[in-house]
Amino acid sequence: MPTGLDGEVPPREFVRSTDGSIRCALIWCPEVPEGTRFILNMRSEDGSVQNLEQGITQHSAPSLNLARLRQRGAQLGANEVVLILP
């Protein structure tokens, strides 16, 4: 199992919903294909969620989409992302 920057192992890497979306910590987000819908969230320790931004990935390179998600998430203070694959 992969570890994070501080060597911690996430309790759950990905949570798949019945609607097909994938929720994961921003640091554990996989590369995402062009046309993937995303929601950047800030999840508090008490479990509450604040939606910060929504959008659709634009680049044909999955690694560039991931980099943009992580950069924008960091700017907004997001720690979670929801992905809806095309």
Structure confidence by residue, pLDDT tens digits, 18-72: 778 899 999 989 999 999 999 999 998 888 999 999 999 999 999 999 999 999 9
Confidence (pLDDT) at 47:
84
Looking at residue 11, what is its pLDDT? 52
- Bridge partners, residue 80, by sequence: 25, 41
- Residue 32 maps to a domain: yes
Domain count, the chain: 1
Is 6 within a domain? Answer: no
pLDDT (0 to 100) of residue 8: 55
Q: Residue 60 region, left (φ>0) first, then alpha (ψ -120 to 50), else beta?
A: alpha
Instruction: Give me the pLDDT at residue 86, please.
Output: 85
DSSP letters spanning 45-80: TTS-EEEEEEEE---S-HHHHHHHHHHHHHHHT--E
- Examine residue 66 and state whether it is found in any structural domain, yes or no: yes
Is the residue at 7 inside a domain?
no
pLDDT for the residue 1: 40
| 53: in domain | yes
In a domain, 26, yes or no: yes
How far is residue 66's CA from residue 49's CA, in Å, rounded to a whole number? 21
In a domain, 42, yes or no: yes
Residue 61 lies in a domain: yes
pLDDT at 3: 45
Which residue range forms the structural domain that includes residue 75? 14-84
Closest CA to 53 of 76, 33, 30, 32: 76
